Amino acid sequence: MLDQGAPPQDQRTAAPASPGVAARLMRRKPVERLVAEGGQGEGGTLRRSLGLWQLTMISIGATLGTGIFVVLGEAVPKAGPAVTLSFVIAGLTALFSALSYAELAGTIPVSGSSYSYAYATMGELIAWVCGWCLLLEYGVSVAAVAVGWGEYLNELLDGTIGVTIPDALSAPPGDGGVFNLPALIVVLLAMAFLLGGAKESARANTIMVCVKIAALILFCAIGFMGFRSGNYAHFMPFGMAGVSAAGATLFFSYIGFDAASTAGEEAKNAQRDLPRAIMLSLVIVTTLYVLVAAVAVGARPWRRFNDSEAALAQIMRDVTGQSFWATLLAFCAVIAIASVVLTVLYGQTRILFAMSRDGLVPKVFARVHPKTGAPRANTVIVSLFCGVLAAAVPLGQLADATSIGTLFAFALVNVAVVVLRRTRPDMPRTFRVPLSPVLPALGFAFCVWMMGSLSAVTWVVFGVWMAVGLVFYFGYGYRRSRLATAEDVAVAAEK
């Protein structure tokens, strides 16, 4: 007869069970481990060399220029003069998300940006989805901006030496060309800077940012001379539907303010400086965007924008009647847009660096060159991919695809900040979102609303992209995740 007080035999000898599929998908990476691994790569470490000024310039460099120099011409026909309101709405959406980014960047100062924040709060599968969206956000936006760079390069060449690059070599298929050579060239130039290291790239970016700010201020001064209040008649010709559609497209202009968060492992004082850089850059960018858009619409009837990708240079020529000022603006735009390519490409490589370190993408993306402290192989692979994409795909399709990936990632960040407040309320935070969870909830709602304003084709592209990402995750990352491997080793050791 069994002793009733003794534990059952199976309870005495049972080994701990391996976690099931659902548990593996929801496993979270501890914040302390995320921070402890900061800077560590394959064969070397990232160097902490960036201060508040450089971080702010990275965010401004990744943001300022895209919407004004490139996408404005596509947004005005959708909203009319109310495009200024579209910029405000897009900026407000970015602001809510920026507050959440600022809190998480100060709490979890690592290179993975929202991918790492999701890993710490919502589990590995959600983190992968977020990271996959970031690949769409950063990688595709590099290509989209590079396309617009070619338009201004042609303006510059026409104004200086009177020749332009033939359409066959300056536009992608579908836009009257065969191969967009300038787009590929600017990506390769950015790659060359990045291979020199973060500090050197930040120095070059700072110079380019100063040039682009000066160019936009010059445009406002000259464009205001051609301002006609009558151009604001019929302010909202397509109603709020047009305003929201343009806002969803223009949200592409705001991606990049989070670029500072991808520099978390190369910042000297990440917890203090990252939140400040994110908020400061967004305020500067939004102010300039609204001001330039208001002057542009006032100086040219909205029906004459006609999807122009070099609208500001054309307005300068119309207002002054001279090609000099348009040529000067085109020169500044060539530099300005190059800085966007540089800084967004930087962010893309650092996100892949973090995902590779976690085992979710191949190890090659986490290799760090011991001399420069930069992930060289990562940089070359990403640059070549983005360069070819820019040379072969039209701008409009790229911009909308980027917007939906960005909005999805931002929505997850707004959720992550609330989750971390609930699960780790004791963690030290150098910045706190005011009125939480109200403002994060508003940020989430704005992102979802703007995603709903995008076209059905964009949603189809996004759905296909996510399906490909899930196939890659379950075929590669699910089995090679370092967090999962560590858990399996621990379970095996206890058996």
Question: Taking the chain (495 residues) in consecutive chunks of 10 residues, what is each chunk's mean pLDDT?
Answer: 45 52 83 84 81 91 75 83 90 88 91 89 92 83 76 81 82 73 89 88 90 89 89 88 84 78 88 92 90 90 72 82 81 84 89 92 90 88 88 67 81 93 90 92 89 84 90 91 71 56
What is the model's pLDDT at position 191? 93
What is the model's pLDDT at position 9? 45
Q: Smallest Cα–Cα separation from 55: which of 239, 276, 375, 364?
A: 276
How far apart CA 207 and CA 191 sit, in angstroms, is 17
What is the model's pLDDT at position 278? 92
Amino acid at site 174 = G
What is the model's pLDDT at position 16? 47
Question: How many CB atoms lie under 10 A from the CB of residue 26?
Answer: 14
What is the model's pLDDT at position 417? 94
How far apart CA 3 and CA 65 sit, in angstroms, is 79
What is the model's pLDDT at position 26? 86
Amino acid at site 224 = F
What is the model's pLDDT at position 12? 45
Locate 191 and state its tokens. 């790659």
Check if the beta carbon of residue 150 is closer than 8 Å to that of residue 166: no
What is the model's pLDDT at position 1? 41
What is the model's pLDDT at position 2? 42
How far apart CA 118 and CA 411 sit, in angstroms, is 11
